[in-house]
Structure 1
Amino acid sequence: MKQPLGVILAGGKATRMGGGDKGLLPLSEGTILDQVIARLSPQVAGMAINANGEAERFAALGLPVLPDSIADYPGPLAGVLAGLDWAAGQGAESVVSVAADTPFFPHDLVSRLQVAAKDMEQPLALAATPDGRQPTFGLWPVALRDDLRAALQDGLRKVVMWTDRHDGREALFDEAGEPFFNVNTPEDLDKAQAMAGGQA
């Protein structure tokens, strides 16, 4: 299976953090997004950020910024679709999505998603923990992008409803710690700082 492209989903409104971009909040020596990029970069053939509004705020990162093509913030599937459309233009077969506010995801995320989707005609898999699926972390086939576009235009918003339609699989991550810990509140950011210090 060819190395996929990566799309970092930063299209949410961050209401619990008072708005703004959670990924640009400080963490360790840089920002949450810096940590996300450092983890994802060795696992993919290239990266882009899905975000709405002024793209210039991410200019320092040097990555393409992909806005949703579906209006009114329909959720992470719209970000996945933006990534798939971008990947199609690059001649890629698949993308892996990660969340911009989840800086400690596994270093072998992509390879384990690919193993889970092995032998599928359209490789489609979500990360999962013993607590359930992690719908912003997935392997998505470019070949299904028009199907996803139609589903979004029909009003579908729930990630797992669409992946279940296409017999999407799960890659189970049951290691210790909180690999998919995400920053939603100021208290979460404090915890992330402590976690980052422990991984230094």
Structure 2
Amino acid sequence: MSHQALILAGGRATRMGGADKGLVILSGRPLLAHALSALSAQTPPPERVWISANRNLDVYAGFGCPLLPDSLPDYPGPLAGVLAALEREDGGVWLVMPCDAVRLPADFSRRLLAEVASGRQAASARDREGWHPSLLALGPGLRAGLAAYLAGGGRSIRGWLAGLNHVEVGFDHLFPNLNTADALAALESEPRAD
């Protein structure tokens, strides 16, 4: 299925001490570099990868992907990055993932995109430890609804997805959640299982 990908790296990363999370180093490379590698291994590959970023834009530009700063002020959360993407192109299909999605199963995009192709507005990932609402595929035509949700004070991806024709897709693969320095250190010391 033809789609574009959006990597979310535009937040404040307060649980990571305010560091620009996409540029935090894991195994000698920025998290964003790992996320781009994981995404490039997917079948089908995206037609284009965009980076949602609000700081260090010159550094992010060096990754060779177009940048999408938030169109809303004051870092209102990951949905602002999604809105910026949909404002760019609302008529297509998007695969969305955070910059700490450094390990993806080989069938990640295929399975999420299949749900959108079957008529769902959105599909997100779940592993045996829980739901990962920021790992998702989005169908076309969602910009106006998302803009209204944000204008009404909504900030939660979970809350927005609750109003859509959405499905959670279960994976055996564990998706790392690298919100803290401790989580990053734990993954760094963990042997690769996949």
TM-score bin (small chain) = 0.7 to 0.9
- Between stretches 2-11 and 17-26, larger displacement belongs to 17-26
Q: Give the deviation of 1:199 after TM superposition.
A: 5.6
Mapped to 1, the partners of 2:65 and 2:193 lie a distance apart of 26
> Could you tell me which of 148, 151, 155 is aligned with 1:150?
148
Cα distance change, pair 192–142 in 1 and its aligned pair in 2 (3 A): same
Partner of 1:108: 107
Mapped to 1, the partners of 2:170 and 2:115 lie a distance apart of 9
CA RMSD of aligned residues (A): 2.0
Partner of 2:185: 190
| CA displacement 1:2-56 (0-9 Å, x = unmatched) | 3210000012112222212122122224221111001112431110110113411
Mapped contact 2:121–2:140 kept (Cα < 8 A): no
Q: Give the deviation of 1:194 after TM superposition.
A: 2.6
Point out where structure 2 has 5 or more consecutive residues left out of the alignment: none
Aligned residues, how many? 191
Partner of 1:141: 139
Point out where structure 1 has 5 or more consecutive residues left out of the alignment: none
**Normalised TM-score (structure 2):** 0.88
Partner of 1:173: 171
Mapped contact 1:102–1:181 kept (Cα < 8 A): yes
Mapped to 2, the partners of 1:105 and 1:87 lie a distance apart of 25
Q: How many percent identity over aligned positions?
A: 35
| CA displacement 1:38-82 (0-9 Å, x = unmatched) | 111243111011011341121220111111112222211111111
**Normalised TM-score (structure 1):** 0.85
What secondary structure does 1:70 align onto? coil
